[in-house]
Every structure is written in C-alpha cells, then in structure tokens.
Homo-oligomer: A and B are copies of this chain.
Amino acid sequence: MKFEVNAKLKYQVISDSTIILNIHALNNEHQKVMEERFTTNPSVKFKALKSLSAENRLMSIEIPPQENFSINYQAVVDNVFEIKDYTEVSDLVIAKLSPETLTYLHPSRYCQSDRLYRLANNMFGYKANDFAKVSALTHWIYLNVEYLSGSTNAQTSAYDTVTEQAGVCRDFAHLGIALCRALTIPARYFTGYSYLLSNPDFHACFEAYINGSWLLFDATKLVPLNGMIKIATGRDAADAAVASIFGDVNFVSSEASCQLLETDFEPFYADYLGANGISYL
C-alpha cells in the first residue's frame, strides 16, 4: 500500500550543534521507499548512518548558529504487511532465538520488565499462548491508561505508567513492551508515520515476537494498524528518538503526516479481542 509521508522540524540553533535525526522511512525488502527528498533550510552538511542491527536510517547534520533552522523530509513509500489468524501459536523456544532477538527480552531504560514479573504473570500469565497474552495486555492498557497529552515527560517509564495510568503513545508502547518482556516475550519499540492519526505527529507503538515474527500492537487503538510506515525499531524510545540533539538548540515545532496514495484501503483496527494479528517485516 502506497503512502506519502512528510516531516517538518524547526529549531533555533544557538551554537554549533549536531543533530542525529531518525525520520527516514526504513527501506528494505518489505517496505520500499520509492521517492524521497531530504532538505534543510539553510543547507548544511549531513551524513547518512545506518544502524547495522536494526536497519534504522539515521541522518547526522552539523548546524552553525541559526535563528530559524528547518528540516523537511518527504517520501513515497510502499509498505508490506500480513494479516493472519493467530489462534494457534507455537511456544517460544529461547534456545533458538538469535542474540539480536534475545536483546529484546532484557529490561531497558523505559521498560523495566524486571520489576513487573509478578504483576504481568498475575494478570496475563493464564492466557493460552503468547498472542493471547499480548492481545490481553494491550487491551488492558487501552482500557486502563488514559491518553492525556502533557501528562508525562521524557523521563516517564513503564514503571510509572503501570501505576499512574496516564500518558501518550510513547508511554502506552513502553508499558506494552515491559509487560511482554516480563512474560518472556521479546518486544521492541516501533516509531513511524501513521495514516489517520488525528494529530499531525509521529506515532509510536510496539512489536512482539510471536510465532517467529514481529507482530504489531498499538494499545492506543488510535489508528488502523495497516496504515503505518516504519521509521525505526529499538529497545525503547532511547534507541529511536526522532532527534537527538548535541549542542545549544531550542526545539520550535515538529509535524509529521501520512497520506494514502491508493484507493482500496481497508483499515485493520485490531481490537485485541479476536485472533487476527498483523506483521510488518
């Protein structure tokens, strides 16, 4: 399914600074970037980086002092996904996981799964299989955590959200990831452009490793799961920040959007009560 995605970031740059951006759409065999344009105003030196493991496409830019500095990214991207039934799911075999996947069982900055073992198992351990467990915890987050802009900050973690029960998409994702890992299900953070998201922003949700694939879950239930263009995956938001700033830079504004370029889109809204799951690859 083809989408056009756009990102606009504005900064006030006080002193010579470096920004590491992570706003480029992934470009691999499952998600094709067909056209792409990256510009800054004024123009500056930039260098593309690629994280070996996760294929995330970073862009490092060096900026002299600048009252109004703007970044634009535009791309046409064709995503590929698969929706199928997960009534039957085979058990995870730890011994067969790659070291890369094992990593996503470890606790991380915002996903302290080591502190959630009893809670996760008390609440979701009895479910039939990993798909049912992750569906149930995603639905529980949806029901119990209030989506409340401004209620959290860059330091809020899953350990806070499980108790305080308010947050934004990033917090919903971190809690989902932490609960999965506490149930011994590898889980990772997912950022992307999201079709039909009402506020013009980047979106975050999470992937859980089930039956040998990474399935997508979104406890906010704000958008159709098949309208995502993936930017990055990582352990949590510390790995996949839209922009990492080094220097004296003030954030001014940020916008992201995603437009459909085709006509036959059938939105897939997972309610996490059934057995259908979706994987991007």
Name A residues whose Cβ lies closer than 8 Å to a Cβ of B.
18, 20, 45, 47, 49-53, 56, 58, 60-62, 94-95, 98-100, 102-103, 105-109, 112, 114-116, 118-119, 122, 144, 146, 154-155, 159, 162-166, 184, 238-239, 244, 246
CB neighbours (8 Å) of A184 from chain B are 246
CB neighbours (8 Å) of A116 from chain B are 163-164
Most buried by B among A109, A184, A238: A109
**Cα(A238)–Cα(B114), bound, Å:** 10
CB A269 to nearest CB in B, in angstroms, measures 23
**Cα(A159)–Cα(B169), bound, Å:** 23
Give the interface SS of chain A, mostly helix, strand, loop or mixed. Answer: mixed
**Cα(A95)–Cα(B60), bound, Å:** 6
Contact B239 A165 (CB under 8 A): no
Q: With A49-B99, A239-B106 in contact, do A114 and B154 touch (Cβ < 8 Å)?
A: yes
Which of B106, B118, B159, B238 lies in contact with A107, CB distance below 8 A? B238
Contact B18 A95 (CB under 8 A): yes
CB A54 to nearest CB in B, in angstroms, measures 9
Most buried by B among A52, A116, A154, A163: A163
11 CB contacts below 8 A, A to B, read A20-B94, A20-B102, A47-B95, A49-B102, A51-B99, A52-B99, A53-B53, A60-B95, A94-B246, A106-B238, A112-B155
**Cα(A62)–Cα(B164), bound, Å:** 29
CB A140 to nearest CB in B, in angstroms, measures 10
CB A138 to nearest CB in B, in angstroms, measures 16
By beta carbon, the residue of chain B nearest A162 is B163
**Cα(A43)–Cα(B113), bound, Å:** 32
Contact B122 A50 (CB under 8 A): no
Contact A103 B239 (CB under 8 A): yes
CB neighbours (8 Å) of A49 from chain B are 98-99, 102
Contact B122 A165 (CB under 8 A): yes
CB A50 to nearest CB in B, in angstroms, measures 7
CB neighbours (8 Å) of A100 from chain B are 51-52
10 closest A-B pairs by beta carbon, nearest first, are A118-B165, A51-B99, A18-B94, A106-B238, A107-B109, A94-B246, A60-B95, A49-B99, A18-B95, A62-B95
Contact A114 B51 (CB under 8 A): no
CB neighbours (8 Å) of A244 from chain B are 102, 105
CB A236 to nearest CB in B, in angstroms, measures 9
CB neighbours (8 Å) of A51 from chain B are 99-100, 103
